[in-house]
Structure 1
């Protein structure tokens, strides 16, 4: 089988390794089948799309909508590398699944707009599939309505031209969309279970995502949530696109 490529942007090792481990666990693959590049540390370089079954992009602290003068050189490099890759992926309609930061990467293409209009705090939200989402070969594996973990400062306020809305939420209208037949983005995190989000709450306390005094409240809320369905997306992505 051709391996999958996993792209991460988290500088914090505990969160970065936890994200990668979750992708391995929920795809059912091992490290030989999922190669990782940490973009906050290493340049992406040339990606031969024919060498990979598909690409998965994780979340991270970068926001496309950050003011340009507030972006570090690393952030600007990562954005440029991912935008160039996304353009090639769309041109080829190569299998791609971007979680959270994938919204920023794909959502600004083809006239789409990503801004701070529909930010959501860390926690569990209800996501509802659209008619297209229920019929889609990837998202159709999920129930019509399910709970998912997220936390984001930006979101899509206008879909790219040609995008198909797959999932929506009360506080954020675009929770998942597809471009072409094989290019997907989700605002929620399909790799997050309860322990995963608790780890991230602890790791990112003091990074401006929430008031430090709210850390335990967020942990308690996460532990009270019932989030079981989103990880099925990762295994389904492999089932659909693994190139044997």
Structure 2
């Protein structure tokens, strides 16, 4: 099969490596079945979408809704690289799965409203509910918990987007544009061990009071989060 293009945005090696391992494991992929690009330290260059089965964009500490002057040079470069792919992805309805940061990228590319004012969620689990049937939700329970932690969210659906999953704090937890372009606010690749790593790595990044880190880690260990990874597996199975 053609490889999947996996774009990573995390400048912290421990978090980036852990996320990549999770994408492989939960997607049922091997390293030989993907092209991994760490955008914090690599140049993406020209991308020929026909060379790939699909595009998977991971999460990261940046926010597309931040003012340009508030973004670091690395964050600005990463955002520009991913946004540069989106016109062709949207026009061709090319298989795309944006995870966390990816929903902000999709919203911004389509002219939607991505902002910090209404739907941010603290680090932890969110009770999600499926509101629209979709092939990527095949086998996923109608209600499930997912790991979240985000300062910004897609506040208004862009034209052409359909809401697939919602939660009380954040209505646009998973959306689809066209037939093949998807994004989730929650982390479909994350499990308790992976989220524990991120809590340690990002404890001073403004997501939570650093003094709460141990309690958040205990909460993650006790959580039952099993359904979101099926979305990632379904994406790989459908397009791979």
TM-score class, shorter: over 0.9
Task: Kindly report which structure 2 residues correspond to 1:219-230, keeping only aligned pairs within 5 A, or say none.
Answer: 219-230=217-228
Runs of at least 5 residues in structure 2 that lack an aligned partner in the other structure: none
Hey, what does 2:125 align to over in structure 1? Answer: 124
TM-score of the aligned structures, taking structure 2 as reference length = 0.97
Deviation of 1:83 (Å): 1.2
Moved over 6 A (4+): none
Runs of at least 5 residues in structure 1 that lack an aligned partner in the other structure: none
Pairwise CA RMSD:
0.9
- Residue 94 (1) aligns with residue 94 (2): yes
Hey, what does 1:19 align to over in structure 2? Answer: 19
Q: Which moved more, 1:137-146 or 1:24-33?
A: 137-146
Q: Is the 8 A contact 1:111 1:159 kept in 2?
A: no
Residue by residue over 1:79-102, the C-alpha shift from the partner in whole angstroms, topping out at 9 and shown as x without a partner, is 122112011101111100000011
Hey, what does 2:193 align to over in structure 1? Answer: 195
Hey, what does 1:7 align to over in structure 2? Answer: 7
Deviation of 1:110 (Å): 2.9
Hey, what does 2:210 align to over in structure 1? Answer: 212
- Residue 185 (1) aligns with residue 186 (2): no
Residue by residue over 1:120-141, the C-alpha shift from the partner in whole angstroms, topping out at 9 and shown as x without a partner, is 00001111011x2xx2111233
In structure 1, what is the Cα distance between the partners aligned to 2:81 and 2:14?
Answer: 24
Hey, what does 1:37 align to over in structure 2? Answer: 37
Q: Is the 8 A contact 1:141 1:236 kept in 2?
A: no
Hey, what does 1:71 align to over in structure 2? Answer: 71
Aligned residue for 1:184, secondary structure, equals strand
Deviation of 1:142 (Å): 1.1
In structure 1, what is the Cα distance between the partners aligned to 2:34 and 2:176?
Answer: 22
- Residue 108 (1) aligns with residue 121 (2): no
In structure 2, what is the Cα distance between the partners aligned to 1:103 and 1:29?
Answer: 22
In structure 2, what is the Cα distance between the partners aligned to 1:163 and 1:240?
Answer: 20
TM-score of the aligned structures, taking structure 1 as reference length = 0.96
